A and B are shown apart, each in its own frame.
Chain A
Amino acid sequence: MRVTDMMTYSNAMASSGRARDNVDAASEETSSGLRLVHPGDDPGAAGQVVAHSLSKSRLTAIVSGATAAGDELRTADGALQTVNNAIQRAQELAVQMSNDTLNAAGRSAGAAEIGNLLQEVVSVMNTKQGNRYLFGGNLDDKPPFDPSGAYSGDAGVRRIEVAPGVTQAVSIRADIAIKGVGGGVDVLATMQKLQTALQANDTSGVQGTIDALSKSNDQVSLARTGAGVSMNALDATVAAGTIARDGETKQISHLQDADVVDSTTKLALAQHALEASLSASAQSFKFSLMDFIK
Chain B
Amino acid sequence: MADLFSILSQASWSLGTQRDAAATASQNIANASTPGYARQEANIESLPGVQYGPAFIGQGATLASVTQIRDRFIESQIPGATGAQASSTAQSDALSSVSALDPSAASGLSSSLAAIYAGLRGLSAAPGDAALRGQAVSSAQALASSFKSTVSQLQSARSGLDSQVQGNLAEVNQLAQSLAAFNGQIRAARASGAQPNDLLDARLRVRDRLVELTGGTPLDDQGGDTQLTLAGGATLVSGNRAATLSTQPDPSNEGHAQLVLKGLDGSPAKALRSGAVGGAIGGALAARDGALATSEAGVDQLAFNFAAQVNAVHQSGYALDGTTGHALFDAGATAAGAASRLTVTAAVLANPSLFAAASSAATVPGDGANLLALIGTEDAAMASGSSAGAALSTLTAQFGSAAQSAKAMSAQDSALRSHLDTLRESASGVSIDEETVKLTQAQRAFEAVSKVVSTADGMLQSLFAIT
Q: Which residues in A have some Cβ–Cβ distance to B below 8 Å?
A: 1-7, 9-11, 14, 34, 36-44, 46-51, 53-54, 56-58, 60-62, 64-65, 68-69, 130-132, 136-141, 154, 156, 158-161, 164-165, 167, 256, 288-290, 293
Contact = CB atoms under 8 A, between A and B. Distances in A.
Counting from the closest, the 8 A-B pairs by CB-CB distance are A40-B403, A43-B400, A39-B400, A47-B397, A57-B114, A4-B429, A140-B366, A61-B121
A272 B422 CA distance: 26
Given A5-B432, A47-B396, A141-B366, 17 more contacts: A2-B427, A2-B429, A38-B403, A42-B400, A43-B403, A44-B397, A50-B392, A51-B390, A51-B393, A54-B378, A57-B114, A61-B117, A61-B118, A132-B129, A132-B366, A160-B125, A288-B432
B77 interface: no
Given A6-B425, A40-B95, A57 B118 contact: yes
A293 to B, nearest CB: 6
26 contacts: A4-B430, A4-B431, A5-B432, A39-B102, A39-B399, A40-B399, A40-B400, A40-B402, A43-B399, A43-B400, A44-B401, A46-B103, A46-B400, A54-B110, A54-B389, A57-B114, A61-B117, A130-B126, A132-B128, A132-B366, A138-B365, A139-B366, A141-B128, A158-B368, A160-B125, A161-B375
A120 to B, nearest CB: 24
A165 B430 CA distance: 74
A50 B364 CA distance: 35
A9 B394 CA distance: 45
Residue with the greatest number of chain A CB neighbours at <10 A, chosen from B366, B369, B375, B440: B366
Contact of A50 (B33, B103, B429): B103
Contacts of A164: 378-379
Given A6-B32, A154-B363, A49 B121 contact: no
Contacts of B118: 57-58, 60-61
Given A7-B425, A38-B102, A159 B96 contact: no
B223 to A, nearest CB: 31
Interface residues of B, number: 68
A80 to B, nearest CB: 19
A13 B433 CA distance: 20
Interface in B51-100: 95-96, 99
B379 A136 contact: no
A60 B103 CA distance: 19
B372 A156 contact: no
Given A69-B125, A132-B366, A159-B372, A38 B400 contact: yes
Given A41-B400, A65-B122, A138 B117 contact: no
A108 B102 CA distance: 76
B74 to A, nearest CB: 12
Interface string B98-125: 0101111000001101110110011011
B367 interface: yes
B235 interface: no
B111 A53 contact: yes
